[in-house]
Amino acid sequence: MATTTEEAITTLANQALTSNERETAIHYLQYNPSGEGVNALVAALRDRDPGVRYACSTALATLGELALIPLLRAISSTDNDAMLREGAHRVLAHSTNRDVRDKTAELRKALVGPGAQLASMEEAAKLLYRN
């Protein structure tokens, strides 16, 4: 079990560990939030393990506003892929912060369907500009 943010980030990134070990690290990052930890959770929305991706999206949803800017940065980048968009949609739709849910309504629509990569990049960039 991780006792520091750095240990939790290292554990989360270690593909050789079990899902349970990595999910324990996710919980550490969720309950001990930091900028580095949030960035690691956002990056792990692209993980090959669906359980890890799900746990990261759940953790980020509970972090509300703290997760918003790092998530918007990831979505607005050119390497915005389907796994990231799926996880981001879940984060934003299930955010515990009503303001986050309200101000990301258009982005959530842009995250799905044909043309989602470009549409979501544009919507995320608009939100970044406003914040």
How many domains does one find in the chain? 1
Containing domain of residue 116, as a range?
A: 5-130
pLDDT of residue 2: 86
Query: What contacts 8, CB < 8 A, 6 or more positions away?
Result: 2, 25, 26, 28, 29, 32, 37, 40
d(CA 29, CA 36): 9
pLDDT of residue 73: 97
pLDDT of residue 130: 87
* Residue closest to 57 by CA, chosen among 119, 111, 14: 111
For each of the chain's 131 residues, which pLDDT tens digit applies? Answer: 889 999 999 999 999 999 999 999 999 999 999 999 999 999 999 999 999 999 999 999 999 999 999 999 999 998 899 999 999 999 999 999 999 999 999 999 999 999 999 999 999 999 999 87
- Give backbone dihedrals phi and psi of 49, rounded to 5 degrees, phi first: -90, 115
Q: SS3 breakdown of the chain: % helix, strand, coil, rounded to 5? A: 75, 0, 25
